[in-house]
Amino acid sequence: MPFTPKAIPAHERLIFAMDVADPAEARRLADTLGDSVHFYKLGLELFMSGGYYELLDWMVGRGKKVFVDLKFFDVPATVAAAVRQLRNRGVALTTVHGNQGIMEAAAAAKGDVKVLAVTVLTSLDRGDLDDLGFKCDVEQLVLSRARRALEAGCDGVVSSGLEAPKLREFIDQRLLVVTPGIRPVENRPVDDQKRTVDVAQAFANGADYIVVGRPIRDAADPRAAALAIQQTIAGIFGAKAAQ
């Protein structure tokens, strides 16, 4: 499967998951990372710590792209109202996690924000899906949700790199594929991510963006870890990584 042909700057294809306790820690880490990271994912932990919008505005003010990953799931009107709150703030991506009505409401309200539908969380495996009552194959569930997301007007999906090849084979190439659960090295037993791929494999499988958290955040030198990933991406897409 060829690499995705979308005109995305190579240095923006790495999204760093800023999973830290509070905005002050997030700012310190962003300062440490400097120009090694250009795209940040701000999730639920930071949202619950307070100061989320101030941090978002601070990131945007520094020329960073921001992915608001709150996985909106509620009645459609409430999800639409939540998505509207993100418009005209410099937010690049956000996530919804629900049925057709929820996805349609989010897409109708998105304005300048691209909406991603969550397919199957990368922390879930076959046994977890059985527990949730999904008896179909993981791959088929991902394809079904991706098709419905595109029909609903969403811009893309969040999907494991393991299912990305089928998304590229059977779903419209316009679909953005954002792949979390990236592990540049062998996955650790204590890690809660179960369906993972490495950087090169994610893009070879058809990802447009990769989301990396712990391998950068917990590294002895987070900036060096991010730059190493950027250099891998630059090699894949023939671009120059940050120096």
Residue reference for tokens 């894949």: 236
Count, residues in the chain: 243
In contact, 25 and 52? CB cutoff 8 Å: no
Closest by CA to 93, choosing from 209, 193, 204, 172, is 209
Both tokens of residue 119?
């397919």
Task: Give the H or E element holding residue 114.
Answer: strand 114-118
Listed in sequence order, the residues at least 6 apart from 47 whose beta carbon sits closer than 8 Å to its beta carbon are: 70
Q: What is the dihedral of CA 149, 152, 156, 162, to 10 degrees?
A: 10
Q: From the candidates 6, 41, 65, 71, which is the catalytic residue?
A: 71
Listed in sequence order, the residues at least 6 apart from 210 whose beta carbon sits closer than 8 Å to its beta carbon are: 13, 14, 15, 161, 178, 179, 180, 182, 199, 202, 203, 229
**Active site (annotated) includes residue 71:** yes
Say how far apart CA 230 and CA 243 lie, in whole Å: 10
Backbone angles phi, psi at 71, to 5 degrees: 45, 60
Active site residues: 71
